[in-house]
Each structure stands twice: as structure tokens, then as C-alpha cells.
Amino acid sequence: MTLSVDPTVLRRKIAAHARPPAAPPDAVPQAIRALGRALRHAATPFDGLGLMPSAITVTAGCDLDGLVAGLPDHGLIAALEAEGGARGLLAVGPGLIDALVEVQTTGRIEAAELPPRPVTRIDEALVRDFIDLALAALGREAGGIAGRDWPARMAYGSRIRDRGQINLLMPDGAYTVMSAGLGFDGVERRSRVVLALPQSKLEGAGPTPAAGPVADPGWIAARARMLDALPLSVEAVLMRLTRPLARVEGLAVGDVLPFDASDLQAVRLEAAGGRVVATGRLGQSGGRRALRLNGQVARAPSPAPTTSTPVPVPDPMPAAVSLPGLVAR
């Protein structure tokens, strides 16, 4: 005699004895540990810094407005970049900037905390090594975290001088925000560092979500008109001279820096950051000095709405100093 078994009943019995699915791993504790280790590793080459990370937090799913509101009031803000075009944000409090400058110039951190001040290009140059080391170390420490939803490696992109432009330069979306309080051994001074990493769907993490709504073309056109109206400084550079530092320090009123007449035919028109946009020759127009451009003006490719032009940082300890021979503004 053959007995028939209801397949629905059989499936219910199998499901009742099956093991429950494993809970997704929690990446937050590992990310907290990874950031602390990365900051301590980045501080190792800086004798006298005595960096002590504390109060590390990791918050997933932050939007752009909430991210901007949580940045330190002063200090350095820079865009971070990953392979594939993903962008993040970095904020370094003024206390860490001052401490890094002090240990690299005087070898120790002063006990008294300094008041906030504008960040200079020299500050940025002296802080870059620490930032690069921290980002590289975080990539190594966090690369194997299961459930990680941010790029494995971020790199320093360019400094953002105007906080009001963050909403224009950074894409809307979800960010994983890592924040750490910073102390320094032997002094009471404190600082803070914030990392905002773009959340991205990793390979094998599941189906790709549906694309979001298309941006309003009218809004895109209005933003393009606003950007076109922004002032941009350009410099007409006749020539540059490179001299040893000792020679530059010895310059005095009345010294002559000679140049050839042929230099008048090789003037460069440069935009911010030293990018050459056109070449020309020096002459006159209506009794005034003028620059006649040769050929077409070089145009940069139209950037995506979330990109910016990186600003090169000078070597903090140059072996020689480059002097502009003649700059016509």
C-alpha cells in the first residue's frame, strides 16, 4: 500500500527543524577598532605627538545635511576620492592641525591651546602626511570587515575652503560617518577628526536598488548659471626663475633678475592651481600692456556635478624657490 504525503506538511516539518539564518555581522565594533588603530599608526612617525584617540563613534546612513551639521566648527575640510568616482569627506579639527605643526617645527606640543585661526597652505602641507598615513591604515584595517558598505580605500582629493560649497561638491546619498575625539599625552588640549565615507553596494551584497529620481533639469541649469558667474582669477606669467634658497634670502632692493627678450613670446595664462589654459605673447593695445592669445583656450572637460579641481600642495621644505619673473593681473 502506498501512502501519499502532503508536500505542504513536509515542507513545514523541514522548516521547523532547519537552522535559523545567521544574523548579518555588525561592522560597527570592528570599524571603531579599525579607526583607532589607523589613527595611532598614522601618529607613529611624529615624535612628541602622543596621539590618544577616544570616544570613537560610527554612524551609518547619515544624509548630507546631517553630515555637514556634525563637522567641527573650524579646521581643515577636504574631499576624499575612491576608485570609481565615489567621494567622501574629511574634517580635521584645529587642535590636531596645530599639534602636527608644532611637533614638526619645535618637536613638542605647547601646553596652552591656541585660538582657532584660518588654515594656510603650509598647515595643509604639514598635515597631509598624517592624513595619507591614516587613510592608508584605515584601508588595511577595515578592508576585511564583513558587512562593510564603504569603499576599501579613500585618498585625499582637494581642500574645500568654503563650507557653503559642500552641498554642491558632495553628492546626495547615505554616508557612514566615523568620528574620533583626540587627546595628546602630557597636555590637556583636545581635538576631533571626522570621516564621512560614501555607502556603496559591495559585490555579492545583494540586488542593486532601483535608480533614484532623475534630477530636475531646471535645477541643473540654474546651478550651471550660478557656477558660470563665479569669479575666477587668472595670471599671465611671463617667466619663472629657480634659484637656491640662499640666493633668494640674499635678495635686496635694486637686485636684477634678467630674462631674455624671447620670453615675451612665451607668456602663459594660468588658472588657479597653476593649470595652463592658454599661451600667448606680450604686446600693447591702445597704449596699454596686453596679452594676445595663441590658438584656442584650453577647456577642461565638463566636470560631473560632484567633482572639483584638486589644488596642488607645495613642498613644506623646498630645496629651491620658484619666483615669477613677471605677473600681469
**Are 136 and 268 within one domain?**
no
Residue 272 lies in a domain: yes
Are 270 and 240 in contact, with CB atoms under 8 Å apart?
no
Same domain? For 192 and 292 the reply is no
- Do 41 and 136 belong together in one domain? yes
User: Is the same domain home to 101 and 145?
Assistant: yes
Say if 182 falls within a structural domain.
yes
- Give which of 166, 317, 162 is closest to 245, Cα–Cα: 317
Mean pLDDT over 129-139 rounds to 92
The answer to whether position 5 is within a domain reads no
Please check whether residues 187 and 240 belong to one and the same domain.
Answer: no
Of all helices (H) and strands (E), which one includes residue 89? strand 87-92
Residues 132 and 273 in one domain: no
Give 291's DSSP letter.
E
Instruction: Kindly state whether residue 7 falls inside one of the protein's structural domains.
Output: no
> Cβ of 18: how many Cβ atoms within 10 Å?
8
As a whole number, mean pLDDT of residues 28-45 equals: 91
The answer to whether residue 215 is domain-embedded is no
Whether residues 190 and 48 share a domain: the answer is: yes
Interval 181-240: pLDDT, tens: 999 998 999 999 999 999 875 443 444 444 556 667 877 887 787 877 778 777 888 777
Q: Which range, of 15-19, 75-79, 176-180, 302-306, averages the lowest pLDDT?
A: 302-306
Q: Are residues 60 and 108 in the same domain?
A: yes
| Residue 173 sits in the same domain as residue 302 | no
**Could you give the CA distance from residue 55 to residue 79 in angstroms, rounded to a whole number?**
24
CATH code, domain with 124: 3.40.1550.10
For residue 148, being part of any structural domain is answered with: yes
Instruction: State which residues form the domain around 184.
Output: 28-202
Counting Cβ atoms within 10 Å, is residue 28 exposed (0-12), middle (13-18) or buried (19+)?
middle
DSSP state of 186: T
Does residue 213 form part of some domain? no
188 and 280 in a single domain? The answer is: no
- Tens of pLDDT, residue by residue over 257-300, are 777 767 777 788 887 667 788 888 887 777 777 878 877 666 65
Query: Are residue 277 and residue 145 in the same domain, yes or no?
Result: no
Number of structural domains the chain divides into = 2
44 and 127 belong to one structural domain = yes
